[in-house]
Amino acid sequence: MPSAESHPPLRVALLGCGVVGTQVARLLTQQADDLASRVGARLELVGIAVRDASAPRDPVVDRSLLTEDAEGLVRRADIVVEVMGGIEPARGLLLQAIEARAAVVTANKALLAEDGPTLYKAADDAGVDIYFEAAVAGAIPIVRPVRESLAGDHVRRVLGIVNGTTNYVLDQMTTTGADLADAVREAQDLGFAEADPTADVEGYDAAAKAAILASLAFHVRVSIDDVAREGIMAVTADDVAWAAHTGHVIKLLAIAELRDADRGTGRGAGVSVRVHPALLPTTHPLANVRGSFNAVFVEAESAGELMFYGRGAGGAPTASAVLGDVVSAARHRVLGGKGPQESTYADLAILPASAAVTRYQVRLDVDDRPGVLAQVAQALAAHGVSIEAVRQPSAPEAVAAEGMQTPAAGAAQLVITTHAAPESALAATVEAVAALDPVRTITSVLRVEGA
Ligand code: NDP
Ligand code: HSE
């Protein structure tokens, strides 16, 4: 490694000075000497683009670096760090940077999940690095392990809690009985919710990360539009209480899995990518991921099961991942070489949501009389959905004591867990069960993962 003095400083442009950008600016300044030693050149922060340069800032930010002229700033950089978010102007600025042969680092999962291939191709054509470790699960090194460390293996499945806000909300609902809206507000105050928390609670943020992870894990192009998505807004306090009663927790999961060809249905091999709330047994490692923490569970053919855990959001944790990328890109500037390119060689279909195969827990209120269970079981069997277990919970007073709603007089509650079944079969089954005369309401249908 050459000494930092023997190489001219590398000019770093920072686009954005919000939750993440402020911490990137702080680390670039406070750790300047260490970074110089690790890179072999000093990293000089040459400007910070913001929307409003006159707005109050954290005192760690050198106000003389602030500018509202992001395009002008990009023209004077060797490395452009984009932490402004959104699609435009972020995409245009990154393309401008790449065209000018600057390396780029971004935390912008929304942009990558929508139009990553345009950026990857531009970077490839220009022979520059594009790094995005912070775009998935904040501080957790997961992009690099999947893209590089597991490049010699075959990943079969990725199961992740990749949105801190929703994990915080579900955890608060589970442990304190908090209301969903209050917990979302707390997450915003703590700095991990997106500016518009709809992106979190409706699952868009997790879907963007799922698309990025699936693309890397399976060497195919997956965009956010390919991801079957369901957020947490329909999860009720009753669902949370029932989950606990049956030995589960509810988590918003991002799932990307390889499905082999199915001779029976003639369906070819493909990749299923989805985001939805799911029941996880309390014994599963992901069940113990609390608060705003994230974790990604990877199953690979040779490596077996791997779990990556840590802070998935917040200014300093995310800035740590950004800085790691800046160091990698900067080292390439000093020593030569280039980071990995997008890999899309795999001939795999992206399967529709209806092809996802999972287990389900269905709760329903039915007339409490003989023969009803048999009718319900018959409706499931008619659609090829096999029952794993049926419970009829105990006395109403015991149910109420655990915070769960009790059925009306003359009704009984059934909790049915199925064996794995395709989403399409389950949807048709639920419709058929709901239409049965003795069925009063389907209280909830939740997927069960991780058993
Ligand atoms: P913030 O909203 O806190 O900050 C955004 C920054 O970008 C602000 O400084 C804003 O300027 C600036 N900005 C926005 N639009 C423009 C524009 N058109 N021109 C110039 N500057 C602009 O966002 P975060 O720091 O939370 O997130 C940044 C990125 O990092 C996003 O892509 C996000 O998804 C990603 N990310 C965030 C994490 C987190 O925990 N917050 C975790 C992982 C990734 P001004 O200050 O003047 O308004
Ligand atoms: N809003 C996101 C979260 C930030 O809650 O996880 C990290 O991408």
Q: Is 369 helix (H, G, I), strand (E, B) or coil?
A: coil
CA atoms 393, 398, 399, 405: torsion sign: positive
User: pLDDT of 150-185, one tens digit each?
Assistant: 999 999 999 999 999 999 999 999 998 888 888 888
The residue extents of the domains of the chain are: 4-138+315-335, 143-311, 356-448
207 CA → ligand 2 middle, Å: 11
More reliable by pLDDT, 357 or 130:
130
Q: Is 68 helix (H, G, I), strand (E, B) or coil?
A: coil
Q: d(Cα 131, Cα 152) in Å, to the nearest integer?
A: 20
More reliable by pLDDT, 391 or 257:
257
In ligand 2, the atom with minimum distance to the C-alpha of 162 is 6
Residue of minimum CA distance from atom 7 in ligand 2: 313
Q: Closest-lying ligand to the alpha carbon of 193?
A: 2
Fold for domain 143-311? Dihydrodipicolinate Reductase; domain 2 (3.30.360)
Q: Closest-lying ligand to the alpha carbon of 205?
A: 2
Q: Is 19 helix (H, G, I), strand (E, B) or coil?
A: helix
How many CA atoms lie less than 13 Å away from 445 in the CB half-sphere?
A: 15
Q: What does the chain come to in residues?
A: 451
Is the CB–ligand 1 distance for residue 89 below 6 Å? yes
In ligand 1, the atom with minimum distance to the C-alpha of 57 is 46
150 CA → ligand 2 middle, Å: 25
Q: What six digits make up the tokens of 270? A: 């493909």
CA atoms 371, 372, 377, 382: torsion sign: positive
Catalytic residue among 121, 209, 251, 338: 209
Q: Closest-lying ligand to the alpha carbon of 321?
A: 1
Fold for domain 356-448? Alpha-Beta Plaits (3.30.70)
Is the CB–ligand 1 distance for residue 90 below 6 Å? no
How high is the pLDDT of residue 207? 98
**What does pTM read for this prediction?**
0.94
Ligand 1: which of 84, 104, 119, 143 to mutate, judged by most atoms within 8 Å of the beta carbon?
84
For range 401-425, the mean pLDDT: 83
Is the CB–ligand 1 distance for residue 54 below 6 Å? no
Q: What six digits make up the tokens of 290? A: 């609390």
187 CA → ligand 2 middle, Å: 10
293 CA → ligand 2 middle, Å: 10
Residue 209 a catalytic site member? yes
Q: Closest-lying ligand to the alpha carbon of 202?
A: 2
Q: What six digits make up the tokens of 233? A: 């807004």
The region, left, alpha or beta by phi > 0 then psi within -120 to 50, assigned to residue 31 is alpha
User: What is the average pLDDT value for the chain, to the nearest integer?
Assistant: 93
User: pLDDT of 338-358, one tens digit each?
Assistant: 999 999 999 899 999 888 899
Q: d(Cα 96, Cα 100) in Å, to the nearest integer?
A: 6
Strands 270-281 and 421-422: unpaired
Q: What six digits make up the tokens of 262? A: 């199915």
Ligand 1: which of 48, 51, 119 to mutate, judged by most atoms within 8 Å of the beta carbon?
51
Fold for domain 4-138+315-335? Rossmann fold (3.40.50)
Q: Is 90 helix (H, G, I), strand (E, B) or coil?
A: helix
How high is the pLDDT of residue 394? 66
For range 292-312, the mean pLDDT: 97
User: pLDDT of 389-400, one tens digit each?
Assistant: 998 876 555 555
Residue of minimum CA distance from atom 24 in ligand 1: 19
Query: Token match 């997961």: residue?
Result: 142
How high is the pLDDT of residue 1? 65
How high is the pLDDT of residue 393? 73
Is the CB–ligand 1 distance for residue 84 below 6 Å? yes
Is the CB–ligand 1 distance for residue 63 below 6 Å? no
Residues contacting ligand 2 via CB (< 6 Å): 138, 163-165, 192-194, 200, 205, 312-313
For range 232-258, the mean pLDDT: 93
